[in-house]
Amino acid sequence: MVVRVLNLRKSFGKREVLRGINLEVTEGEVFGIVGPNGAGKTTLLRIVAGLLKPSAGEVEVFGFRVPKDVDKIRRFVSYLPEEANLYGRLTGSENMKLFAMTYFGSKNIDEIVRLGVSIAGISEQDLKRKAETYSKGMSRRVAVASTLMVKPRLAILDEPTVGLDVVSARYVREIIKQFAKEFGTTIIFSSHNMFEVSKLCDRVALIHSGRIVAVGSIEQILADAGAGDLEEAFVKLAGGENA
Amino acid sequence: MRDLSIVLWKEVKEMLRDKKTLLMVILTPIVTLPFMGVVLVYLPAVQEVVIAVIDEDLSEASIGNFSVSSQSIALFLRDYLTHFGFLTTSEETEVAQVILKIPVGFVANLTSYEHQASVILVKRLGSPRVDQAVTYVELLLNHISRAVSEAKIYNLGRLANLVVKTEAVLNPIALRTVVLTPAGRPAEAGEELRLYLSRMLAVSLAFVTTPAASYIADSLVGEKERKTLEKLLSTPISRRSFILGKSLAASLVGLVGGVSSVVGAVLLYLAPTVVYSTNVAKYISPEVLVVLFCSSYTSILVSLSISLPIVLRSPSIRAASISSASVIGIASVTYLASLFVNLDEFRVPMSILLAIPYASLASAVIRTSLGELLRAVAYLTYSLAFSIVLILLSTKLLDPEKMVISRT
């Protein structure tokens, strides 16, 4: 088991964001967390990545407990936050080198960065430019590549395509799909784009107002909800058009 | 150690490419210090003040062989005041900030043995230079008073057929002032000027600290604002390396700031030397420059160490920025205070002031100038230890949750 979440609750002051989440993610799968803005997707991923502490419940990653074993968990997990930017004064290549070094020190850095470059699919010339000169699409490609190139046992990608144009979003989806297939990495992927999730994920959890309303393969969720697509299933399961 | 070098590598790369901030750290002391020297020493001397010396008496008289005229007194005053850089006139004018009137009957009273002569001095409130003008007028009038007193004493002695020494009548008590340094050795000529200049150097620490403290705050708060923090905190980099790497990078800024402040200090001494053609540069010593460098470096570390826990525990980025600005404010006020007082010479409970590391650093510079190098080293050591302990404590305070969810 890669991730096991049991009755997880998280509050910020009096505001309860997660209200008893239960889910399991198995080795090698691409697991999607789908829900509208404010549903609690980012909070859930931040807890799994060891950045936030649970208010109640249990979270285990590769058998290690959050937050107790967070230093061990970070060695196996690579996380891409929703609004992650590159270091603007560093070049694309230096940004990759930095994240490679955080996992491997100076060992095999060139090889890891080469993998990053091939994932990002940007030219040598662009890699030598400062990241502050990149377009949003190019920045995101480098950020996704930096997250995956270290070949983590678990990659957590929070809305990796949000705000990107159609072409860039498609490219990022292709990167993730190809990487998961090639290296067998477990990927947890969040999105509010149902189409995207149905294209990428082996299994999906639908999250609404801090609760998981359905979890399983897309076919299974559609069958259980009696819906034609994931969007319809979500509306039905979350309790109406206002969900 | 490996993590630390990674954070340091990133910070140094970013720092070297942030040329504007780096330039500010380098240029602020180099530009501000000589400017301060010119402003504090030169500008007051060249500010225009018009002094009107009006002779309404237009008379003369004598004391024995010593003749006195109101015209010669007015002329003497105007000549010397012009020599001291003031503009003088003999007529009452609206532009005059200081008016000295020699009234009718002045010379008669001045030469009499029964009456006291008086003059009327009018000053318009406005600038410190006007106060300086009044001080000069008073000095010159004292000089005239003394000359007249000497003539009167001499004449009275002659009439009484007595041998009279004027000093014995005018100043029966002679005051001899011996100036010593705190170490007890007789002060050399110019020692007070040396001390004044070292006070300016203590104030100058504020100019090093301000841009560097902003850099430090930005280094932490900026990670959040530029949305790079969350990803870095999720990597295997340890909290300790994250904080220490940033602290080490900031201390490199401190080294740059320290060198700049030494260059600025040399220029501060050279400015009056060039402007006044007097050799003020002779008062600069290698010990003062070394201690100034160490104090500048430590001042930046102190700012870092005070800012760190505040920034790390602030609920929002704005709160963190305001808190770091307050640290800069405290540093500036403490350094400014050292221009007027010796911060290390108060009794309990005011002696607690010295616990503020900025007060210790300012005192270190001043004590070095007074030849008390050991005391200076003690103050430097205290401030350095203060910052190291606080930085190490801060590594325990880093809470990724607080940093990640803090509001922008």
Write the DSSP string, A99-164: HHHHHHTTTTHHHHHHHHHHHHT--HHHHTSBGGGS-HHHHHHHHHHHHHTT--SEEEEESTTTT-
Helix (H/G/I), strand (E/B), else coil: B130: helix
Residue A16 β-bridge partners: A11
Identity of the amino acid at A93: S
CB A102 within 8 A of CB A142: no
Residue A243 banded pLDDT, cuts 50, 70, 90: very low
Radius of gyration over every alpha carbon of chain A, rounded to an integer in angstroms: 18
Question: Would you state the pLDDT for residue B407?
Answer: 64
- Quote the minimal CA–CA distance from A175 to chain B in Å: 19
10-residue averages of pLDDT along chain B (408 residues): 88 88 84 80 79 95 91 96 92 90 95 93 87 93 93 91 86 86 76 80 82 73 85 91 87 84 83 68 84 90 85 74 80 86 85 90 90 93 94 85 76
CB B152 within 8 A of CB B63: yes
- Please name which of B363, B342, B197, B361 lies closest in space to residue B283, comparing C-alpha atoms: B197
Q: Tell me whether B19 touches chain A (CB under 8 Å).
A: no
Q: Give the separation between CA A36 and CA A28, rounded to whole angstroms.
A: 26
Residues 6+ apart with CB under 8 A from B36: B200, B203, B204, B268
Q: Tell me whether A109 touches chain B (CB under 8 Å).
A: no
Spell out which residues of chain A touch residue B18, defining contact as CB-CB under 8 Å.
Answer: 89
- Which two structure tokens, joined as six digits, stand for B280? 């003020």
Identity of the amino acid at B200: M
Predicted confidence (pLDDT) at residue A60 exceeds the cutoff of 60: yes
- Please name which of B291, B306, B141, B321 lies closest in space to residue B222, comparing C-alpha atoms: B321
Question: Would you state the pLDDT for residue B31?
Answer: 87
Spell out which residues of chain B touch residue A78, defining contact as CB-CB under 8 Å.
Answer: 234-235
Predicted confidence (pLDDT) at residue A207 exceeds the cutoff of 90: yes
Q: Which of A12, A79, A101 sits opposite B234 (nearest CB)?
A: A79
Residue pairs between chains A and B whose CB atoms are closer than 8 Å: 78
Residue that has been written with the tokens 């989806």 in this structure: A173
- Quote the minimal CA–CA distance from A124 to chain B in Å: 20
CB B229 within 8 A of CB B380: no
Q: Which has more confidence, B222 or A7?
A: A7
Residues 6+ apart with CB under 8 A from B363: B202, B338, B342, B343, B344, B354, B375, B376, B379
Question: Would you state the pLDDT for residue B277?
Answer: 66
Query: Counting Cβ atoms within 10 Å, is residue B259 exposed (0-12), middle (13-18) or buried (19+)?
Result: middle
Mean pLDDT score, A116-131:
90
Interchain CB distance below 8 Å, B234 and A71: no
Question: Would you state the pLDDT for residue B275?
Answer: 64
Predicted confidence (pLDDT) at residue A43 exceeds the cutoff of 90: yes
Helix (H/G/I), strand (E/B), else coil: A226: coil
Distances (CA, A) of B55 to A100, B82, B111: 88, 17, 17
Q: Tell me whether A80 touches chain B (CB under 8 Å).
A: yes
- Quote the minimal CA–CA distance from A34 to chain B in Å: 21
Q: Which of B226, B235, B401 sits opposite A99 (nearest CB)?
A: B235
**Nearest residue in chain A measured CA to CA from B230:** A81
Q: Give the separation between CA A51 and CA B30, rounded to whole angstroms.
A: 43
Predicted confidence (pLDDT) at residue A169 exceeds the cutoff of 50: yes
What percent of chain A clears pLDDT 70, i.e. is strictly above it? 98
CB B307 within 8 A of CB B399: no
Spell out which residues of chain B touch residue A139, defining contact as CB-CB under 8 Å.
Answer: none
Q: Tell me whether B402 touches chain A (CB under 8 Å).
A: no
Q: Which of A74, A85, A105 sits opposite B226 (nearest CB)?
A: A85
Q: Tell me whether B235 touches chain A (CB under 8 Å).
A: yes
Question: Would you state the pLDDT for residue B122?
Answer: 93
- Please name which of B287, B290, B300 lies closest in space to residue B357, comparing C-alpha atoms: B300
Identity of the amino acid at A239: G
- Which two structure tokens, joined as six digits, stand for B55? 């002779």
Q: Tell me whether A220 touches chain B (CB under 8 Å).
A: no
Residue A63 banded pLDDT, cuts 50, 70, 90: very high
Question: Would you state the pLDDT for residue B223?
Answer: 84
Interchain CB distance below 8 Å, B2 and A143: no
**Nearest residue in chain B measured CA to CA from A103:** B236
- Which two structure tokens, joined as six digits, stand for A101? 């070094």
